[in-house]
Amino acid sequence: MQTDLRGRDLIGDLDFSKEEVETVLDVAFDLKRKRALGESHAYLRDKVLAMLFFFSSTRTRGSFEAGMAQLGGHAAFIESKTTQISHGDTPKEIGEIFGRYFDGIAIRHVDWGVGNGYLNAVAKASRVPILNMQCDIYHPFQCLADLMTIIEKKGRDLRRKKMVVSWAYAASYQKPMSVPQSLVLQMPRFGMDVVLAHPPEFKLMPEVMEQAQEQARKFGTGFEVVDDMEAAFKDADIIYAKSWGAMVHTPDANAGAEIIKKYSHWITDERKMALAKSDAIYMHPLPADRNIEVTDGVMDGVQSVVYDEAENRMHAQKAVMALTMK
């Protein structure tokens, strides 16, 4: 177990080594057990977390607020549009001032080309840990929850398990690509053979792809990119299919929306799930566009683990907060 996480930021998935991620998971499982047994675990009594949102949230806000309360502390919800951040306060000022008011600063800022830079600018000025609740590049807490869920369902030895990270159609808006990018960075470190499937216009960031391939080489795992959803699903152990935008191909939202319309057949349905192994699990970070991105039959079916996955957001976040904000 690594014991040097106090005061550390978690902005990108590779900010923590594999061993440090394993420590987070060990603590998360222990906190989940304590929660189930009703055992007090107020490790952050009198600590306060600032939660700064530039992008709306359901699970993220709820899980951080509940998690901090269960750890004995308090989470302060701050919506950027209702503060001077919307017309004056700089990232440096937020880092300097919130770093003196609070014991940790969690930020969600997914604007393309802006979010990650903002988090790092705040971190440069802050004396307390900066926690990434999702940016335009990474979603590390979702990925930790996903890894925790996979271990619960498939065991600790994940070597040679085939994980498909697939694009899926969604008509609502151009969703951030931070979830698939975090997955391809983190999962090879834990032995999984990752297959990334997407139409040609939905490539991930080149620098992230290079890092993902480097992690696969380092840990001796497979990493493959295909443009056929059905071929990817074949014999998979884990299906993680969600939509993301075509921002690498074109940053123009209208052009991206037109491209998305071409691929309405990229839906996770029962027929495609049948191509995977009979005990394959279906994962999604939610919210999903039901019967557009995924059918009700898959989302609510026996192979779906989306609600366990959502619960594990809270436990994984509590682990990181307890380890970094103590």
What's the DSSP call for residue 6?
T
Do 100 and 200 share a structural domain? Answer: no
Do 147 and 95 share a structural domain? Answer: no
Single-letter amino acid, residue 289: D
Split at pLDDT 50, 70, 90, the class of 56 is: confident
pLDDT at 269: 98
Report the mean per-residue pLDDT for the chain.
96
Per residue in 199-209, pLDDT (tens digit) is 999 999 999 99
CA angle 285, 287, 288 (to 5 degrees): 95
Q: Is residue 6 part of a domain?
A: no
Burial class (CB in 10 A: 0-12, 13-18, 19+), 255: middle
CA angle 157, 149, 295 (to 5 degrees): 120
Per-residue pLDDT, averaged over 113-126, amounts to: 98
Q: Is 149 within 8 Å of 309 (Cβ atoms)? A: yes
Strands (E), the chain: 48-53, 74-79, 104-109, 130-135, 162-167, 193-197, 223-226, 238-242, 281-283
Do 226 and 167 share a structural domain? Answer: yes
Do 154 and 45 share a structural domain? Answer: no
Do 123 and 146 share a structural domain? Answer: no
Tally of structural domains, the chain: 2
Do 248 and 133 share a structural domain? Answer: no
pLDDT at 128: 98
Per-residue pLDDT, averaged over 215-224, amounts to: 98
Distances in Å between the Cα of 154 and the Cα atoms of 148, 168, 192, 262 are: 10, 24, 11, 35
Do 155 and 75 share a structural domain? Answer: no
The alpha-carbon radius of gyration of the chain (Å, integer) is 19
Range of the domain at 275: 142-309
pLDDT at 174: 86
3-class SS shares of the chain: helix, strand, coil, % to 5: 45, 15, 35
Distances in Å between the Cα of 9 and the Cα atoms of 103, 106, 162, 180, 202 are: 12, 10, 31, 21, 29
pLDDT at 160: 96
Per residue in 145-183, pLDDT (tens digit) is 999 999 999 999 999 999 999 999 998 678 999 999 999
Q: Is 124 within 8 Å of 95 (Cβ atoms)? A: yes
Q: Is residue 49 part of a domain?
A: yes
Return the minimum-mean-pLDDT range out of 4-13, 30-39, 81-90: 81-90
Do 197 and 112 share a structural domain? Answer: no
Per residue in 247-286, pLDDT (tens digit) is 999 988 889 889 999 999 999 999 999 999 999 999 999 9
Q: Is residue 287 part of a domain?
A: yes
Would you tell me how many other CB atoms lie within 10 Å of the CB of residue 173?
13
Q: SS3 for 282?
A: strand
User: Measured between alpha carbons, how far apart are the two ends of the chain, in Å?
Assistant: 16
Q: Is residue 64 part of a domain?
A: yes
How far, in Å, CA of 140 to CA of 13, rounded? 5
Do 161 and 105 share a structural domain? Answer: no
Do 135 and 146 share a structural domain? Answer: no
Cα torsion angle, 106, 111, 117, 121, sign: negative
Do 286 and 154 share a structural domain? Answer: yes
Per-residue pLDDT, averaged over 300-315, amounts to: 98
How far, in Å, CA of 288 to CA of 241, rounded? 10
CATH of the domain at 294: 3.40.50.1370
